[in-house]
Amino acid sequence: MMASPDDLKFQEFEEATDLLSADPGATTLSMSGSSSTAQGASGEIKLDMSDNEEGREESSELLGGEKQTSGFWTFEYYQSFFDVDTMQVLDRVKGSVMPLPGRNFIKHTLRSSPDLYGPFWICVTLVFSVAISGNLSTFLSSMGDPHYHYRPQFHRVTIAAVVIFLYAWLVPLAVWGFLTWRQREERQQKGYSFLETVCVYGYSLFIYIPTSVLWILPFEWLQWLLIVVAMVISGSVLVLTFWPVVRDDTKLTAFSTVATILVLHALLAIGCKMYFFQTATFTVTKTVPIPTHSPNHTAVMGTKSY
Amino acid sequence: MAEVDDSRKPMFAGLSDVSISADIPVEGEINVPVGTPSQDDEYSTLDEPVKDTILRDLTAVGKKFVHVMYPKKSSALLRDWDLWGPLLLCVTLALMLQGNSVDSKEEGGPQFAEVFVIIWFGSVIITLNSKLLGGTISFFQSLCVLGYCIMPLTVAMVVCRLVLLGGSGTVSFIIRLVVVTASFSWSTFASTAFLVDSQPPNRKALVVYPVFLFYFVIGWMVLTFSPSA
């Protein structure tokens, strides 16, 4: 059953697609050996229902397991990463904001068809929402100040873009590299592919978009509360995803891996808040000299303020 | 397409019914490279006066501007793409938006290069996105449509600058907000009307969202433009 050569596999699928189009509800079994075959096949049936002919040229996508059978220089290779429908993207976003214990994001929601659409556009949206909300919050907190002249602060977009895209690509690379190395050393179960890691990180950043918009409200306690809530949700998505892979390792490695993931995630959130959302107290001390007791200090403060 | 819609009911199905179907002839000959006289045997423009060449291309660009103002579904517009209009609009917008050189670079508005990069790289990325999702539109057709649909925002920029000449209080801000919001919606609506037909039906929203984000960011840049003190 497993010994069929690749050409035969292709032929079988051409017949199968004809049968599928005649009867879309039929279940099929693919011939690859991975344990998620049944789920993968059902995911592929769902994808096959759309009448888009262009994306289906590369029948390599229909083969369970390995998707990248065309070279990385072809357009179809990258097209396989964008093989999602609107409903699928919305489901994945929902899965990232509602983590339930036992529901591994990768196994349950992605089901071996990771995409790049979600992570990329969530990062872009996050970059602009952080920069714009930060600009708005600086404006609102300095509204009473007569010396304040509104500035668009466009350089923040560049900084936000660099930080967020580095986080969304380098951290998954590091995590994937580390997990793959450990798995190879310990000879454990199959880990996650690089694409799946990038995908879960990308979708886990989604909760920060509404959080950054809500940060405009100038209440310090509210901003910290929002950070905690977002970190809990986002962090638990990551923990639920990576814990099953890591728990078979030594206790120390397992806990330190998960702790590092959470710490980096927290640093991103807190860093964004501190840099982009400077609160009223900060800007007030910059422009209004605070009267102090000693005359020396007053002189120093006098020279410092504009 | 109708049969699939009935059985699957994709979201945002109404997007395809946005504009009236009418085939409107557009100036321009697809065999002739825009702006330069062709050496093509079928249609030789080598001997015509320069004025004719320039006027023909200007008319083509002008007609496309009119199409953006009154978006109607027209496959002719997509076929005869050109990038002169987008270049003109982009340069105008970037010139008007750039921060004053007197301000410190840290706190000012976007520089000319930043606006240029955002518009062109944004258009390229959106085009790549729609092609990767399975769209049938060609690369340059999509660039052409996205570029031409910046026109309402350029008009809004001109209006905003005029309003700012009269003062920068709350009233002027409200006027600018209304104008920018209206033109940003117009841009998104116009480009959606041209682009959405070439997308697979289950993914229309996935293609429209980046376009919305693109014009939102440009609208934000227009709205937050503030002349130096």
Does residue B228 lie within any of the structural domains? Answer: no
B98 pLDDT above the threshold of 80 = no
Separation in Å, CA of B224 to nearest CA in chain A = 6
Could you tell me the two tokens for A229? 């809530």
Residues of A in contact with B132 (CB under 8 A): 78-79, 81-82, 117
Quote the pLDDT of residue B166. Answer: 81
Tens of pLDDT along B126-146?
A: 998 888 888 788 888 888 888
Chain B residues in contact with A51 by the CB 8 A cut-off are 1, 4, 200-201
In a domain, A155, yes or no: yes
| Sequence-distant contacts of A65-72: CB under 8 A, at least 24 apart | A65/A30, A65/A32, A65/A33, A65/A34, A65/A37, A65/A40, A65/A112, A66/A32, A67/A113
Alpha-carbon span A36 to B139, nearest angstrom: 37
Residue A7's CB: how many other CB atoms inside 10 A?
A: 8
The token pair that represents B216 in the structure block: 């939102």
Predicted model pTM: 0.70
Cβ distance B220 to A86 less than 8 Å, yes or no, reads: no
A283 vs A306: CA distance, rounded Å: 13
Show Cβ contacts of residue A275 under 8 Å, excluding neighbours closer than 6 positions.
A134, A159
Interface test with B, best of A23, A77, A80, A86 (most B CBs within 10 A): A86
Q: Of the given ranges (A52-66, A101-115, A220-234), which has the lowest mean pLDDT?
A: A52-66
The answer to whether B203 contacts A85, with C-beta atoms less than 8 Å apart, is yes
The tally of CA atoms less than 13 A away on the side-chain side of residue A190 is 12
Rounded CA-CA distance A163/A157 in Å is 10
* Neighbour count for residue B124 (Cβ, 10 Å): 14
The Cα–Cα gap between B52 and B58 comes to: 10
Is B206 within 8 Å of chain A by CB? yes
Cα→Cα distances B184→A269, B93, B228, Å? 31, 14, 25
Most confident of A16-30, A73-87, B98-112: A73-87
- Position A74 scores a pLDDT of 80
Task: Pull the structure tokens for residue A82.
Answer: 């964008």
Q: Report yes or no on B215 lying in a domain.
A: yes
Q: Name the H helices within chain B.
A: 2-8, 50-69, 75-79, 84-97, 112-132, 139-148, 151-165, 170-195, 204-223
Alpha carbon distance B149, B68 (integer Å) = 6
pLDDT digits (tens, 9 = 90+) for A236-266: 888 888 887 777 777 888 888 888 888 888 8
The DSSP secondary structure of A105-158, one letter per residue, reads IIIIIITT---SHHHHHHHHHHHHHHHHHHHHHHHHHTTT-TT------THHHH
Residue A16 falls inside a structural domain: no
Strand partners, B73: B21
CA-based torsion, A181, A187, A193, A199: positive or negative: negative
What is the domain count for chain A?
1
> At CA A219, angle to CA A216 and CA A224, rounded to 5?
90
More confident residue, A48 or A189: A189
* CA terminus-to-terminus distance, chain B: 56
CA atoms within 13 A on the CB side of A168: 25
Q: What number is the average pLDDT over the span A94-116?
A: 77
Instruction: List C-alpha distances in Å: A215 to A197, A289, B42.
Output: 28, 27, 63
Domain coverage including residue B179: 77-223
Per-residue burial over B170-190, b if 16 or more Cβ lie within 10 Å, else e, is eeeeeebeebbeebbebbbeb
Tell me which chain A residues have a C-beta less than 8 angstroms from the C-beta of B11. 86-87
Q: What is the pLDDT of residue A195?
A: 85
CA separation for the pair A65, A67 (Å, rounded)? 6
Q: Could you give the CA distance from residue B143 to residue B165 in angstroms, rounded to a whole number?
A: 33
Q: Is A152's CB within 8 Å of B217's CB?
A: no
Which of A51, A63, A52 lies closest to A9, judged by CA? A63
The answer to whether position A233 is within a domain reads yes
* Residue of chain B whose alpha carbon sits nearest to that of A117: B129
Q: How many domains does chain B have?
A: 1
Q: Hey, what are A42's tokens?
A: 């059902």
Cα–Cα nearest to A169, from A212, A130, A205, A209: A205
> Cβ contacts (< 8 Å) between A85 and chain B: which residues?
10, 202-203, 206
Residue B208, both tokens: 């429209």
Inside any domain, residue A42: no
Look at residue A201 and tell me if it is in a domain: yes
pLDDT tens digit sequence for A167-219: 988 988 988 888 888 777 776 666 778 888 888 888 889 999 999 888 888 78
Q: Average pLDDT for residues B49-55, to the nearest whole number?
A: 86
- The reply to whether B37 falls in a domain is no
Query: Which pLDDT score, from 0 to 100, does residue B185 have?
Result: 92
Give the list of residues 6+ apart from residue A121 with CB closer than 8 angstroms, or none.
B129, B209, B210, B213
Compare CB distances from A55 to B114, B134, B213 and report the shortest one's residue. Answer: B134
Q: Which residues of B touch A78 (CB under 8 A)?
A: 132
Residues A178 and A115: their CA atoms lie apart, in Å, by 22
Q: How far is B55 from chain A (nearest CA, A)?
A: 39
CB distance from A121 to chain B under 8 Å? yes
ipTM of the complex: 0.73
Q: Do A51 and B206 touch (CB under 8 A)?
A: no
DSSP annotation of B99 reads P
User: What mean pLDDT is predicted for residues A280-302?
Assistant: 45
Question: Closest Cα partner for B162 from B172, B171, B174, B153?
Answer: B172
Closest CB to A85: pick one of B109, B202, B229.
Answer: B202
Q: Which domain holds residue A271?
A: 76-93+104-276
pLDDT of residue A246: 76
Residue B204: pLDDT band (50, 70, 90) is confident
